[in-house]
Chains A and B, each alone.
Chain A
Amino acid sequence: MKGKTITELRAAFVSGETTPTKALEETRKVIAERDPEVHAYLETYDDAAAVAAEADALYAGGATTDKPLLGVPVALKNNILVKGKKATASSRILENYVASYDATVVKRLKDAGAVIVGATNLDEFAMGSSTENSAFGATKNPHDTSRVPGGSSGGSAAAVAMGSVPTALGTDTGGSIRLPASFCGLVGLKPTYGRVSRYGLIAMGSSLDQAGPFAHSVADAKTVFDVIAGVDAYDATTHKLGTYPLVPTKEKYRIGVPYAFLKEGIEPDVKAVFEDAIKKLTALGHEVVDVSLPYMEKGLAAYYIVMPAEVSSNLARYDGVRFGLHVEGKDLREDYDLTRGQGFGAEVKRRILLGTYVLSSGYYDAYYGKAEEVRTLMRSELSDAFGTIDGVLTPTAPMPAFKLGEKSDPLSMYLADIFTVPANLTGAPAISLPMGTVMRDGKELPIGIQLMAPHDGEERLFDIGKQLLGE
């Protein structure tokens, strides 16, 4: 099922063993074979062939080393804008919306020589943990198509896991890269808030969103991160390295595990995989210690206040006037009500209503104000902890991929994100690493572990990740 890594593909391009055009043909073959069942892609791009042909010529000419992704097929979550292509966010309200510019991450991928092969499915506006909330049908997990790939970047995860592309971009607001990486057996990185430009991402929670890569290896995730990261004049929240204290790599790390947080709710064999990772770290010569992070345990409650509040503000722009769906009413007010009522799906409406509630007069202080205070406390708690430890280790999720339709109650779906939201609320970088498998109904399902580092500590995550995966 697994295709070549970026490292392998690049070596094969340079040696002449294969070409970008042949790699693209392979991508299309895998999509033709697997995607009718998996439904990772919303659209594939015909003009990818011309980009691959240009890369062929460059490799044939020998001048290739300065473009780290030259000829490498890449898929993009469809809430990332590619000029001239549909950016639907898997919503009816943007079903026919065509992007008028490239997101900064897309411009950087193109400049690095990547071949953008297509757009992948997501939970509508990136709201969900299973990719079942797409207006265009659910994506299935390539490891077991009766199960979800995780969400919200489930299409990108499935596209990589089924071997169609070596890497794909997702976005992560509360775990939307790391959860599907865990469920699909991939490396998934949520960068430090502000390391990767949000210009050209369809906004969900603007203080939480970051784009990042899925890959088969830590080395590949680093390659893509290095391409997309950096200051961008079009996103004022991006920052230079040096804004936060330097996070050095070390010979020996001291890793904190918040054991009190892991007492309940984790499926036993998932916990066993996690404990194997701890043993592996110790065997590698690192130290694993207990760390108390009581505010982190309240993260999910704060997240389900902050995020819907930002959602309700960000999605106010879909008014049926400037772009997207327009439904005709008797007056302008009814145009708005009908356009939004018919254009948004259930989960999006649920979060807009919740956000409207927590921001409304009389409730603002009790909910949004408190949640932002919890968030401030989480930040200082984490930064205090990083005074004595070098990273925080947890499972990525309490469970392996669940069945399609299994979590029909929204709250039970939200609980899948319990370990991932603290990184978004605090802005810290976090990576999900494939650490093992568990058996469910005779199928082997991947399990990820999550490592969190201080702000701008991506290099440390890559260092520990490579050691854990034996790269």
Chain B
Amino acid sequence: MERKDIEHLADLARLRLTDAEIEQFRTEADSILAYVDAVKEMALAPREPKVGAHVNPLREDVVTNEPDQYTEDLLGALPKRVGRHALVKRIISAD
């Protein structure tokens, strides 16, 4: 992998990496990918459905909590909070 490949992946993954990290991951990625490449070489049988044996059950869509029972706990975990809202930066510019 090239340096720009790691930078592109980091960009997709929303990770700001240091130069040292980019260089480290670049060299390691090649050996890891060479190892996992073994799956490509396998003679594979005709494609079978990739579903497991069990079916996901659904539960009744009923309210199980009181209003505001958990609200304050969850809002309390917000890094930046205004009243009952999470504060994030503006993403639409004025112009």
Contacts and interface: CB of A to CB of B under 8 A. Distances in A.
Given A97-B77, A370-B44, A301 B39 contact: yes
A358 B9 CA distance: 10
Interface string B53-65: 1101111000000
A97 B49 CA distance: 39
Contact of B28 (A98, A312, A410): A410
Contact of B38 (A301, A344, A375, A427): A301
Contacts of A236: 56-58
Interface residues of A, number: 67
A233 B61 CA distance: 11
Kindly name the residue among B13, B37, B52, B58 whose own CB sees the greatest number of chain A CB atoms within 10 A.
B13
B4 interface: no
18 contacts: A100-B74, A233-B59, A239-B54, A298-B42, A302-B39, A319-B14, A321-B79, A322-B78, A332-B90, A332-B91, A344-B15, A346-B24, A353-B13, A356-B9, A358-B36, A409-B28, A410-B28, A411-B31
Contacts of B40: 366-367, 370
Interface string A349-368: 11011101110100000110
Given A301-B38, A353-B29, 4 more contacts: A305-B36, A374-B42, A380-B48, A411-B31
Nearest to A351: B32
Contacts of A316: 14
A332 B79 contact: no
Contact of B32 (A298, A334, A354): A354
Interface string A289-333: 000000100101110110000001000100111111110000111
A125 interface: no
A411 B32 contact: yes
Interface in A222-261: 233, 236-237, 239, 243-244
Given A304-B36, A356-B9, A346 B21 contact: yes
A316 B12 CA distance: 11
Nearest to B38: A301
A322 B79 CA distance: 7
B91 A341 contact: no
B54 A243 contact: yes
A377 B44 contact: yes
Contact of A323 (B14, B24, B33, B78): B78
A100 B72 CA distance: 10
Given A357-B9, A374-B44, A376-B50, A301 B35 contact: yes
A375 B42 CA distance: 12
A336 interface: yes
Contact of B73 (A100, A298, A354): A100
A190 B88 CA distance: 41
Contacts of A98: 76-77
A98 to B, nearest CB: 7
A312 B77 CA distance: 23
Kindly name the residue among A325, A360, A410 whose own CB sees the greatest number of chain B CB atoms within 10 A.
A410
A335 interface: yes
Contacts of A10: none
B20 to A, nearest CB: 10
A367 B78 contact: no
B15 A341 contact: yes
B74 A324 contact: no
Contacts of A414: 32, 35
A300 to B, nearest CB: 8
Contacts of B76: 98
Given A322-B86, A356-B9, A366-B40, A349 B35 contact: no
Contact of A371 (B6, B39, B57): B39
Nearest to A84: B73
B29 A354 contact: yes
B16 A337 contact: yes
Nearest to B47: A373
A332 B56 contact: no
List of 9 A-B pairs having minimum Cβ-Cβ separation, nearest first: A341-B16, A326-B79, A323-B77, A301-B38, A337-B16, A100-B73, A332-B89, A236-B56, A336-B14
A437 B79 CA distance: 49
A346 B49 CA distance: 35
A460 interface: no
B12 A427 contact: no
Contacts of A349: 15, 17, 21, 25
A302 to B, nearest CB: 5
Nearest to A295: B42
Given A304-B32, A331-B89, A341-B15, A377 B45 contact: yes
Contacts of B14: 316, 319, 333, 336-337, 340
Contacts of A304: 32, 35-36
Nearest to A243: B54
Contacts of A367: 36, 39-40
A350 B86 contact: no
Contact of B88 (A324, A332, A340, A410): A332
